[in-house]
Amino acid sequence: MNNLIQKYNIPGPRYTSYPTVPFWDNDGFTKQGWIDTFQRSFDESNEEEGISIYIHLPYCEALCTFCACNKRITKQHSVEVPYIETVLKEWKLYVDLFSSRPKIKEIHLGGGTPTFFSPDNLKRLIDGIFEYAEVAEGYEFSLEGHPNNTTREHLQALYDLGFRRISYGVQDYDIKVQKAINRVQPFENVKRATDEAREIGFTSVSHDLIFGLPHQTMEGMTETINLTKQLNPDRISFYSYAHVPWIKGVGQRGFHDEDLPSPELKRALYEEGKKMFEEMGYFEVGMDHFALENDSMYQSMKNHTLHRNFMGYSSSKTQLMVGLGVSSISDSWYSFAQNEKTVEEYEKSIHNGELSVFKGHILSEEDLIMRRHILNLMCNLETSWANETMKFDDLERIKIMLKGMVDDNLIEFVEDGLIVKEEGRPFVRNVCMPFDKRMIDNEPETRIFSMTI
């Protein structure tokens, strides 16, 4: 395994989209082009499956130095109401462009720290969304919560609004690791937040853990997972720490590079974690995720209905996802569009009566084909080009690029298709990369992705 780690541990995308953001054709993108595609997507899909909404709530009271998200650090909670008012104005701009009343299948509150906002203001936000929309059948509303500041009042307010899934950022229980990443939260806080969510009625509680953080050891990781076992979350996200200080600057310079585990130890942390999760009754889902057998994410994997987008893995699919808030990314299936990255620029455009979109990508027919293949691999660990709509011109090149993975018994080419073997699951990002024609045709001159392992 160590030889394979050395061979395949290269910079690569996480494929929450294709094309990935660095290879969007911004020159060929227009705001009107985005509007045309999301109106098309809405008309095609709203009645049948509804739409998804991602709302970015960027504020945090303290900076976690492992975090690569767009955030604004402040203890001034006076920012809450103006920001929510702006998000609701943005939503109304979209509503005015829809041909009928939207049906909302999914809402996800991300950040930042969504629970930075008071329960009353979160209620104000969601009530404002549904002033112009209705709930779709089989809806799923979820949020990210910080165990230190998610209160019973938060949980009750969100439960009353229809939220049933919450993901707590745990990362690691080792106090040395917590101090290095400026994220100190005792086990007791996580237990309280988990127990209260279940007492109130949340049906899915997820814990996010990260391997590859500074100062992590095998002993410490084992203890973190044993403590997690005591709380038995419905899902566990086991993320590889993405060390990208050249992109995020000072936010990821709270420790030295030599404090990070070696690639071999990092992979061993993952393998031991995976083994422990399986012994605890969890099943690996896609990449990074583990779920109990009765969880909807595991069931969707078994049914081949697992989906992946900028919100991560989802147990249901909508063709259209509208991103609201600063830096949010929207996805119409036919195009992507990203909002302004600073709160000031975002608010300025919305208050001028304009969508805050400042860049994006309109997918070509070739993009759509490759997107489907990469989604199949990331979600189902297999893909097929037997269907005419899945055929492409690069098959021989892809087979040549993946020959080493065939020889290493990680993947198998079958008639008109490709299967990732169990041994190849840790390398699924590498399997996808030969399908990434945009990246291959525009090979980056500098490093822009985290390591795949």
Are the CB atoms for 339 and 345 separated by under 8 Å?
Answer: no
Say if residues 363 and 106 touch (Cβ distance below 8 Å).
Answer: no
One-letter identity of residue 169: G
- What one-letter code names the amino acid at 212? G
Residues placed in the known binding site: 54, 60, 64, 66-68, 111-113, 144, 171, 183, 208, 242, 329
Strand partners, 50: none
Give the residue numbers of the binding site for [4Fe-4S] cluster.
Answer: 60, 64, 67
- Alpha carbon 187 to chain centroid distance? 25
User: How many CB atoms are located within 10 Å of the residue 48 CB?
Assistant: 10
| 142 touches 118 (CB < 8 A) | no
Q: Look at the block and give the residue holding tokens 């094309």.
A: 19
Decide if 313 contacts 379 (C-beta within 8 A).
Answer: yes
With 0-12 / 13-18 / 19 or more C-beta atoms within 10 angstroms meaning exposed / middle / buried, residue 339 is buried
- Between the CA of residue 93 and those of 166, 240, 333, 349, 433, what are the distances in Å? 28, 37, 20, 11, 37
Side chain identity at 411, as an amino acid letter? Answer: I
Taking residue 188's Cβ as centre, other Cβ atoms within 10 Å add up to: 9
| Cα gap 82→43, rounded to integer Å | 32
Residues contacting residue 81 through CB under 8 Å, at least 6 positions apart: 121, 124
Asked if the peptide bond before residue 112 counts as cis, ω within 30 degrees of 0, the response is yes
Radius of gyration of the chain (CA): 21
Residue type, 47: E
Binding site for S-adenosyl-L-methionine: which residues?
A: 54, 66-68, 111-113, 144, 171, 183, 208, 242, 329
Q: Which residues pair with 331 in a beta bridge?
A: 321, 336
| CA 80 – CA 59 distance, rounded (Å) | 9
Q: Which of 408, 424, 409 is nearest to 284 (CA)?
A: 424
* Pair of tokens at residue 95: 């509503």
Residue-by-residue DSSP string for 162-184: TEEEEEEEEE---HHHHHHTT--
**397: Cβ contacts below 8 Å, ≥ 6 apart:** 434
